[in-house]
Amino acid sequence: MENELRRDYFTERRVIISTGRGRRPTDYKLPLASAEDTSPGCLFCPGNEAATPPEIMRVEEAGKWAIRVFPNKFPAATKEPWSESESLIPSYGSHEVVVESPDHAGTLAEMSADRLARVLDVYSKRADAMLSDMRVGYALVFKNHGRVAGASLAHTHTQIISTPIVPQVVAEEVEGARKYRARKGSCPLCDAQETESRGPRAVFNDGKAAAFAPYASRSPFEAWVMPVRHVRALNELSVDELLSLAEAMRVILKGLKYRLNDPPYNMFMHMSPRGEDMHLHFEILPRISILAGFEFGSGIVINTLAPEKAAEFYGQK
């Protein structure tokens, strides 16, 4: 089928898998994202700690910092006083930056599973800390890698923004999962990772964590990474499960970096909102194609590489 309309596992999101132009995975190799950067005075490098806002958290290794967390200098969320009776609603919350490595050229892709697990643990702790404020409705952990994906600084970092509401994309997933459960009696992501691990879109599954190219992929090489066990947040995982999750993530990130010339990508974590029961997962969206008028006007993304081809690519040794 030249043009196939696919629907996401449990939301209304649809994509057109349009393979008529016959591009192969290697046709998507782009110029190196990492080559964009030559900044000598990087604010995130060791030695420039005083140039960032005051540190919130750090993880040390051999007496030096390995991971640092501090507020974003230009926050998109602020703790402004407000009452619900007012007509103007502030973007109430906080906006933090997690610098995952002191190494200017390092990325998550080169980290050992053990090291990456510690990074995931920092994401978890900071998101949980934000959610301890009951006026915060959600905390979104996200990474912009490469300028095209929105990274204004090249040194590896992830951001966390908390919002007074549950954002629409997350609310749609929660609602979709609720409907799916009512219909089938099971969690859509428990089902998806189990089914996908046995099919043509499988990339990784060690019984504790899974990575696969989702059926309705929005982008060439889109990948989802999640624990096999139904957990709502990272803080429910055992050390073993966290290590497996890190390993599953590494398979994807290494594939992108070393066999696709390090394209720009966005990654975000969808944990369960407070009081809800959604399966924790990470979505990795390479920013290889351009979203245009059709995508904005319809919400349907045209993807020129079938996820089955993407999984094949990731699965190659």
Residues that bind a copy of itself (CB under 8 A): 1-6, 12-14, 16, 18, 20-21, 74-78, 80, 88-92, 138, 140, 142-144, 148-151, 159, 161, 163-165, 167-172, 266-270, 283, 285, 290-294, 296-300, 302
Distance between CA atoms of 20 and 168, rounded to whole angstroms?
33
As measured in angstroms, the least distance from the Cβ of 267 to a copy of itself is: 7
Contact by Cβ (8 Å): 36, 146: yes
Print the SS3 string covering 14-43. Answer: EEEEECCCCCCHHHHCCCCCHHHCCCCCCC
Q: Is the dihedral of CA 228, 231, 233, 237 positive or negative?
A: negative
Least distance between a copy of itself and beta carbon 82 (Å): 9
Task: Kindly tell me which of 105 and 292 has the beta carbon lying closer to a copy of itself.
Answer: 292
Q: Which is nearer to a copy of itself, 138 or 243 (CB)?
A: 138
Nearer to a copy of itself, 258 or 294 (CB): 294
Closer residue to a copy of itself in complex, CB, 91/206: 91
CB of 92 to a copy of itself, least distance (A): 8
Nearer to a copy of itself, 149 or 233 (CB): 149
What angle (nearest 5°) sits at the alpha carbon of residue 301, between those of residues 299 and 303? 175
> For residues 224 and 305, what is the distance between their CA atoms, to the nearest angstrom?
16
**How far is 282 from 269, CA to CA, in rounded Å?**
4
